[in-house]
Amino acid sequence: MKKLLVFVVAVLFGLSTSGLVFAGEKAPATEKPLSVKKEKVVTAIATVEAIDLQKRVVTLKGPKGNVFDVTVGEQARNLPQVKVGDQVEVKYYESLALRLVKPGEGVAGVQETSALARAKEGEKPGGMAGSQVTLTATITAINKKTHEVTLKGPEGKTITVKAEHPENLKKVKVGDEIEITYTEALAISVEKAKKK
């Protein structure tokens, strides 16, 4: 549970540094913001430079020439099929959704789900791992001069974040609740080496 609380705090701090609070399309002044979603997908191709099957370490060379080691867990059952020169495609997805809810309508406490999928035996190695955390925070203070909102999470901790679109602060008040859903997923697939 402590690890989960640290993760939730990190999610809340992520709001502060990325400017995602009340972000998104500017709604007309007469509409109350119902929901906001920011998402991004990053794709990178790396080349397998070396493999240590005994230690389960794969050395990869990234698109900018950076070389790094990845320790592969026992869940990757097809590691022996990976060869030097293979291309590894890595896709990382991250999403943050905010939804203004009526008091008591949002999720209670912190809800966390995760998913894991891997290649079938005999196929080229690959897989996907993802997780999602949802919580409801209450607005405890709004500073329209500095464009900041203070949020209180389900464990009673507070954090102050800056609004990306300050005009949306006119549409919320102290006591309003915001349901926050943070999703991330990582997918990896191995492709055959390109012929030179």
Tens digit of each residue's pLDDT, the chain (196 residues): 333 333 333 333 333 333 333 333 344 444 444 577 888 888 888 899 999 989 988 898 988 888 888 877 777 777 888 889 989 888 888 898 888 898 888 888 888 998 877 777 777 767 778 889 999 999 999 999 999 999 999 989 999 988 888 888 888 899 999 999 999 888 877 766 555 5
* Predicted pLDDT at 6: 32
* Predicted pLDDT at 8: 37
* Predicted pLDDT at 74: 73
Of residues 110, 101, 114, 105, the one with CA closest to residue 176: 101
Let me know if 185 is exposed, middle or buried by CB neighbors in 10 A (0-12, 13-18, 19+).
Answer: middle
pTM above 0.75, yes or no: no
Of residues 191, 189, 184, the one with CA closest to residue 90: 189
* Predicted pLDDT at 142: 94
Annotated domain spans of the chain: 2-191
CA gap 112, 173 in Å, rounded = 28
* Predicted pLDDT at 128: 78
